[in-house]
Amino acid sequence: MTPGRIGPLLPYLPAALVLAFVTWLDSPVNDKFQFWYAGHLVASGASPFDPAQWADLGRFGPLAVLTAHNCAVPAGASCLWIYPPWTAWLLVPFGVLAPDPGIAAFTLVQGAVMLAAFVGLSGEAALRGPSRLVVTLGAALCAPVVWNQLLGQIGALELAGGVLVARGLRTRGPLAFIAGAVLLSIKAHLFIALIPLAVALLVRWRAWRLLAATSLSLGALIVAGALFEPGWLAALGRAGQKGAGLVLPTVWSFADRVTPSLAPLTIAVVLALGLAATIVALRAAPRGGWPLVFVSAAIGLSLLVAPYAHLYDHIMLLLAVAAIVAVARDERRYAAWSAALGFVLLTWYAYLLGPHGDEPPFTALIPLAVLVALAATLWVRERVDVALAQRADNVIG
């Protein structure tokens, strides 16, 4: 590879090194086994939605510590596999391998997909030089990404899905948009606001082919899932029990814990602020960067109304962080870089204050903080652009 081709890749090198280091590290208690095992069950002709298949996991030794603990009662809520069937189908290539190499391959692919998502995100945000370095390195260092990689969650697929949806909206490309929608459907409960907003946008654009193709693709997956994995629908019906024993960082939990006597009012105020910030961001977004801002804001709003979420799910807020940095011109880029640094510090503060399943209440407000920062940045840029245009007109006049 010539130096001219290596140069554009250098800003990604620090992020790649961080991801490689985190991938090399190994948390003794993680979710990696459950994803390998789900793919293994499908590969062996069994179903991850059959509670009997999750019994006696102690035979797999230390690899299955967390999953075996959660599945001490295989029919219990904490052992429910509530991901859509196509999640397990995607994991079959790892499941056909033995546990150790299968989990190792899953971990390596997760790291590679995460880096690819970073590269795609910086491309969608049209970041250049130092800004590309700041955003991708900040992304690799933030607590949601590090925790996602250590825990073995599938946030890399979600982040890649968000980037692909933004790309699909920008190019009106059905392949990117449909692929992104499929990846986001793995955790559809995190994108409750994005779904109707995206449908409304496509209707407004009269993008009937894109809307129809996406609807048919997702519909086909749902029908196939119901036919081949009927246990999925029963698991979905009990999904609400999954987090019953956890203190989740959601707005609903925040209101119950911090203002129990005024919970409805607190929820209304937070959601109203989030909606207002979303509207301001969409109105002030520059035309060229509007698709990324749309997806970023809709995802931020979605995380505010999500019924079930963890700090590692805030990986999706990286789209908004990239959008914030993208709208700043050279003279304001140092201020914009503070968004990446602030996200790193805030998420690590939340992580260090509370373990998995007991994150501090304020964690629920991180999406609101990011939404407000996005709206404020875009609004300021719009005001500055208007002022500069008026000054230019006065000079010409």
Question: What single string gives the DSSP state of each residue in 195-231?
Answer: HHHHHHHHHHHT-HHHHHHHHHHHHHHHHHHHHH-TH
pLDDT in tens, 160-173: 999 999 999 999 98
Distance of CA 103 to the CA centre of its chain: 22
pLDDT at 97: 96
3-state secondary structure of 284: helix
Q: What is the pLDDT of residues 354-386, one digit of tens each?
A: 766 678 889 999 999 999 999 999 998 888 766
pLDDT of residue 273: 97
State the pLDDT at residue 242: 64
Whole-angstrom Cα distance, residue 188 to residue 67?
22
Note the pTM of the prediction, 2 decimals: 0.93
Collapsing DSSP to helix, strand or coil, 358 comes out as strand
CA 110 – CA 147 distance, rounded (Å): 13
pLDDT attached to residue 369 = 96
Q: Is 322 exposed, middle or buried (0-12, 13-18, 19+ CB in 10 A)?
A: buried
* Side chain identity at residue 234, one-letter code: A
Kindly list the distances between the CA atom of residue 129 and the CA atoms of 62, 121, 133, 137, 293, in Å, as whole numbers in the listed order: 44, 14, 7, 12, 21
Instruction: Collect the ranges in the chain with pLDDT lower than 70.
Output: 1-7, 239-246, 329-333, 355-357, 385-397
